[in-house]
Homo-oligomer: A and B are copies of this chain.
Amino acid sequence: MSGSFTERVVAAVGALGPLCAGIDPSAGLLDAWGLDDDPAGLSEMAMRCIDAYAGVVPVVKPQVAFFERFGSRGYAVLEQVVAAARDAGLLVIADAKRGDIGSTAEGYAAAWLDPASSLAADAVTVAPYLGLGALQPMVDTAATHGAGVVVVVSSSNAEGRLVQEARTADGRSVEDALLAEVAATNRIRHGCVGVVVGATRQAPAFPLAELGGVILAPGVGAQGAGAGEIGRLFRHCPPGTVLPNVSRSVLVHGPDVGAIRSAAAAVRDQMAAALS
């Protein structure tokens, strides 16, 4: 595929609008949709999401944990879901929050970012507790294949503050130090590193407009953030680089595909207005 992950996201957002829609077959949502909490139920819900989202939003985000609940059978469904979404023209961010060191980081790179893998996505989310440098094998693989590594920097939940607001040796917060490190990497690796910045958070000291990569912003809808927060935090970022993420507040409109599609389109248009 041609172009960096950032370039591909910018093009897709330019065509459809700014939104990443979740594919979250949790036990609770499966029950609400009248589906069984088993691999067949996972598949039915996820495929309905793809039908609803294709041509409406540019990016989808399957939550890997809900598939992993069913071990190898759940992963077989996830493989089909990732492939079907990409075949439908959707970019796929696998929400896996992986992260480890050395050869283990190479293993995660091979699993999620190498086109030869049955799980190959356009990007994967990672957690940076072991340091961004430890994730270098994932960044290298992403850069080679035009894929992305999306680093959780400022999570949408309150419990993350202890670690994320802690002060590094030079006085910056952990999140500001990581944002600067991501921006430095993007300058030499052509925008293959994105970040998660919760829409429920205050603006970091680091100027997000200078990140050089994609910003995924969860917390919209069920977690309480809306167009106001998205505009305030991200309006000055380069067009097409910001992906507000909605999941539950759209998925509660299922199982009807048309209802999900309408709900996603409405949020997409709100976000487009907030960012313009």
Residues on A close to B: CB < 8 A? Answer: 24, 26-28, 63, 65-66, 68-73, 75-76, 78-79, 95, 97-108, 110-111, 117-119, 127-134, 152, 155-169, 174, 177-178
Q: Which of B101, B160, B178 contacts A131 (CB 8 A)?
A: B160
Contact A99 B127 (CB under 8 A): yes
- Please name all residues of chain B whose beta carbon is closer than 8 Å to the beta carbon of A98 when the two chains form the complex: 65, 97
List 9 other contacts, CB 8 Å, given A162-B177, A163-B178: A63-B104, A65-B100, A65-B107, A71-B76, A72-B76, A97-B99, A131-B155, A162-B174, A163-B174
Contact A107 B163 (CB under 8 A): no
Q: Dominant SS at the A interface? A: helix
- Please name all residues of chain B whose beta carbon is closer than 8 Å to the beta carbon of A28 when the two chains form the complex: 103
Minimum CB–CB distance for A276 against chain B, Å = 30
- Please name all residues of chain B whose beta carbon is closer than 8 Å to the beta carbon of A110 when the two chains form the complex: 27, 69
Minimum CB–CB distance for A233 against chain B, Å = 19
Known A69-B117, A129-B128, A134-B159; judge A167-B164 contact (CB<8 A).
no
Interchain residue pairs with CB less than 8 A apart (7): A26-B103, A65-B98, A65-B104, A72-B72, A97-B99, A131-B155, A134-B159
- Please name all residues of chain B whose beta carbon is closer than 8 Å to the beta carbon of A163 when the two chains form the complex: 128-131, 163, 166, 174, 178
Known A99-B97, A104-B63, A134-B157; judge A164-B71 contact (CB<8 A).
no
State the CA gap A158–B101 with chains docked (Å). 10
State the CA gap A61–B105 with chains docked (Å). 16
Contact B157 A131 (CB under 8 A): yes
Contact A68 B118 (CB under 8 A): no
Q: State the 6 A-B residue pairs at the shortest beta-carbon distance, nearest first.
A: A131-B159, A65-B107, A133-B159, A71-B118, A166-B166, A72-B75
Contact A130 B104 (CB under 8 A): no
State the CA gap A65–B117 with chains docked (Å). 13
